[in-house]
Amino acid sequence: MPGPIFILILLGALLAFILAWWHYLSKPRRKSPLFRGLALLRFLSIFGLILLLVNPKFTKTTYDLEKALLTILVDNSSSMVVSDSADSYRDLTSRLMQNQALQDRFTVRAMEIGEEMQPLDSLTFTDQATNISSPLQSLQDVSIGSNTVTVLISDGNQTLGEDYEFMSHKPEQKIFPVVAGDTTTYEDLRLDRINMNNYAYLKNTFPIEVFASYSGSGNRNSVLRIRMNGQIRFQQNVTFTNDKNAIQVTAEMEAQTTGLQDVSVSLSAFENERNVYNNSRQLSLEVIDEKTKIVIVSSLVHPDLGSLKAAIEQNEQRDVTIAAPSAAKNTWEDADLIILYQPDRTFAAVFDVIKKEEISTFSIIGSKTDWAFINAIQGGYSISSYGQDEEIFPELNGSFSFFDSSLDITDFPPLDFELGEISIYTEHETVLDQKVKGVVLEEPMLVMIRGNERNEAVLFGENSWKWRIQSFRNEGDFKSYDAFIAQVIRFLDLKKRANRLTIEYEKSYEGVNAAEIVARYFNETMAFDGNASLKLFIKTSEESSYREFPMLLRNGYYGLSINDFPAGNYEFTVRVESTDIARSGSFKILDFEVEKQLISSNYKKMERLALASGGDLFYMDEADQLIDELSNRNEFLPVQKSNQNVVSLIDFRILLAAIALCLAAEWFLRKYNGLI
């Protein structure tokens, strides 16, 4: 307690004594015990008030010994045991943790790193990826303002996350890497990257782009091979030199069969090549047969038919057949799209199949069309003729929005049609309007009709073959007109049925990639239903029974991680409980471990990391030097810190209670003894 405060307390006590003596003991007749007791109570009351005003305080000092934080990070990835030295890593870790000199100077903790960082339990060296930058960044974030030391036992090969070499380090964080594994650099051929689409269409060609490199000196020859389902489909000799140690090869492949295809890319190894695992890669390709079967139904022989067939079949995924309305019934049932050319009463059976199978149609109305039959057989539109044949020019409707139409109809010849009134009763948009003698009529020439289960298009006019010829005259090819017809066909071929259950997944996953099956379930109003219970039933192609897993509700979807599944082909079904709604699929997990491709330690990068952070680099046989370095550096000495707490000498609540008690006692004694 400071001296001035002590003097104030003494003066306060003297003042309280003088006031109490003057009030009760200054006269000779007031020497009785009663007055002495009243004087004591008055003294205590006044002295308590003075203590409240002075508020005496004292400082309490405590001392703590703060040690630097030593974190031992041990790489638990599979690349650490390539050289069969797992026991040496365990021994080094145990030695660092149990060393008394380090425990006296540091607070020691051990963590294992792989795909994630976690407290060290037992080193298994089974992680399929190594993330070094994330643990180092986490240690920086949690040790702000404190002296931290990190010992990193790793081969320095990072396969996940930000490059740790380019991290910024705080001055108080020192990193001491310990190089594990083989530091010898070997000659090596490797496939660096392969670019390939996940899907391809049947009978179409698709590219595979291969990037390969060579580390070493001298020249090396190899053979690049690409296999599909075990058969060699591409082969090329490649040469690596000191000046050209990387190559890029693009192979054009043809998708010959549908389904999931195994694609293997490999480089032949040279003699005594140590690491051949990175000479090959396995991929997966889904070949889809998306060919749309289109039937043109006509009882006439007309050049419009050949023009339409030629324009549509420019897309190899469209197969067009011309048939009479009297053809076999299965001709229409197997069709994805039916083009009705100038339909009449002989088309009745075709319309029955269209209604039953809900097949999209493209109707072309001309001079031979039975308008009364058309009005009676369908309810989407109706036509009433004025009985006047006319040449009708097309006029592009700028407000059409169903698809982007960029067809240039400049100088397009007119179509032949009977003028009449056209009424359309369902949702539609007009692509082309009718123009007669320079006047645009409020009647459609080409209209797109959108339905719940199928779409429909109607062209009012014949001799559209002239348009294709005119497109060739204008541009020198048929591409513009054929692209426009392709847009119409694509609109008609678009399936409109909404699925309440949707699933998202890849056809193939590499082992270290985040693999997940995602499902979304919607209620009857097509709003996402977060209260449903979804189950995933999954099995390999070799298994006979499915395994069941619940799908977890996440942020707007249901998901299940499949990272831990072994390599193989899988079939699965997602089912909504208490309903008959389910969706199925299949995928493949590839046997690919990036850690197996790394056989040499990246000691140079670890050395740069040590220099950037102010630490030093050590090797596995330099454990004693590492311990000496950590034990003898003065910057890692424990720091004694003092904490000072200023507290009040007397609790004011107790003091107020004592003052009140003294005043009350004084008042009671005065009243009891008749004193004023």
Among all chains, which residue has been given the structure tokens 């454990």? 623
**Predicted structure pTM score:** 0.51
CATH assignment at residue 199: 2.60.40.10
319 in a structural domain: yes
CATH number, domain of 589, equals: 2.60.40.1930
Please give the pLDDT value at position 202. 78
d(CA 600, CA 156): 9
Are residues 539 and 605 both part of a single domain? no
| Pairing of β 292-297 and β 318-323 | parallel
Contact in structure between 208 and 196 (CB atoms under 8 Å): yes
Angle formed by the axes of helices 479-493 and 465-475, nearest 10°: 130
What single letter denotes the amino acid at residue 282? Q
The answer to whether residues 326 and 456 belong to one domain is yes
Alpha carbon distance 51, 47 (integer Å)? 6
**What's the confidence (pLDDT) of residue 251?**
92
Q: Once rounded to an integer, what is the mean pLDDT over residues 5-30?
A: 76
**Of 449, 446, 442, nearest in space to 467 by CA:** 446
pLDDT of residue 589: 82
Residues with Cβ within 8 Å of 317's Cβ and at least 6 positions away in sequence, in order, are 201, 290, 291, 292
Does residue 183 sit within a domain?
no
Structural domain of 159: 66-163+601-639
Residue 99 is encoded by which pair of tokens? 């060393």
491-510 pLDDT, tens digit per residue, is 887 544 446 788 888 777 77
pLDDT of 667 above 50 = yes
Angle between helices 623-632 and 86-98 (to 10 degrees): 20
The CA distance from 180 to 630, in Å, is 19
pLDDT, tens digit (0-9, with 9 covering 90-100), for 443-470: 899 999 887 678 899 999 999 999 999 9
Q: What is the pLDDT of residues 69-95, one digit of tens each?
A: 889 999 888 777 755 567 888 888 889
% of the chain residues with pLDDT over 90:
19
Report pLDDT for 497.
41
- Residue 170 inside a domain? The answer is no
Whether 5 shows a pLDDT value over 80: the answer reads no
Round to whole Å and give the CA distance between 539 and 573: 9
In this structure, the answer to whether residues 525 and 438 fall within a common structural domain is no
Contact 174, 100 (CB under 8 A): no
Strand pairing category for 68-75 and 516-521? unpaired
pLDDT attached to residue 401: 74
CATH number at 334 reads 3.40.50.880
Q: What is the pLDDT of residue 498?
A: 44
**158-178 pLDDT per residue, tens:** 877 788 888 777 766 889 999
The answer to whether residues 356 and 330 touch, using CB atoms and an 8 Å cutoff, is no
Residues 368 and 447 in one domain: yes
Task: Determine phi and psi for 346, rounding to 5 degrees.
Answer: -70, -10
pLDDT at 14: 83
- Top pLDDT among 285 and 362 is at 362
Q: State yes or no: pLDDT of 668 exceeds 90.
A: no
User: Is the same domain home to 461 and 606?
Assistant: no
Structure tokens belonging to residue 574? 């997602």
| End position of a domain, from candidates 253, 273, 288 | 288
The residues, any chain, with a CB within 8 Å of residue 554's CB and separated by 6 or more, are none
On whether both 48 and 96 belong to a single domain, the answer is no
* In a domain? residue 244: yes
Mean pLDDT of the region 595-619: 84
Q: Is 452 exposed, middle or buried (0-12, 13-18, 19+ CB in 10 A)?
A: exposed
On whether residue 644 sits in a domain, the answer given is: no
The pLDDT of residue 296 is 93
| 352 and 485 together in one domain | yes
Domain boundary among 240, 261, 288: 288
Residue 89, domain CATH: 3.40.50.410
Does the pLDDT value for residue 240 go beyond 80?
yes
pLDDT over 70 percentage in the chain: 92
Helix (H, G, I), strand (E, B) or coil at 367: coil
Q: Mapping DSSP to helix (H, G, I), strand (E, B) and coil, where does residue 254 land?
A: strand
**Are 521 and 660 in the same domain?**
no
Q: Answer whether residue 236 shows pLDDT above 90.
A: yes
Q: What is the mean pLDDT of the chain?
A: 83
Least confident of 63-67, 145-149, 258-262, 613-617: 145-149
- CA 253 to CA 70: how far, in whole Å? 56
CA–CA separation, 660 and 676 (whole Å): 19
Look at the chain and report how many structural domains it folds into.
5
Label residue 54 by pLDDT band (50, 70, 90): confident
> 514 and 480, same structural domain?
no
Give me the pLDDT at residue 496, please: 40
DSSP character for 195?
A: E
Query: What is the Cα–Cα distance from 619 to 549, expressed in whole angstroms?
Result: 46
Asked if pLDDT for residue 375 goes beyond 80, the answer is yes
Higher pLDDT, 221 or 644: 221
Task: Tell me what the mean pLDDT of segment 134-154 comes to.
Answer: 80
The first and second tokens of residue 321, run together, are 């057949």
pLDDT at 403 over 90: no
Query: Within this chain, do residues 519 and 613 fall inside the same structural domain, yes or no?
Result: no
Tell me: do 244 and 359 sit in the same domain: no
Q: How far apart are CA 509 and CA 588, in angstroms?
A: 6
Does residue 169 form part of some domain?
no
Asked whether residue 654 is domain-assigned, the answer is yes
Instruction: Among 438, 460, 493, identify where a domain stops.
Output: 493
Does one domain contain both 632 and 653?
no
Whether residue 173 is contained in a domain is answered as no
Q: Does residue 211 surpass a pLDDT of 90?
A: yes
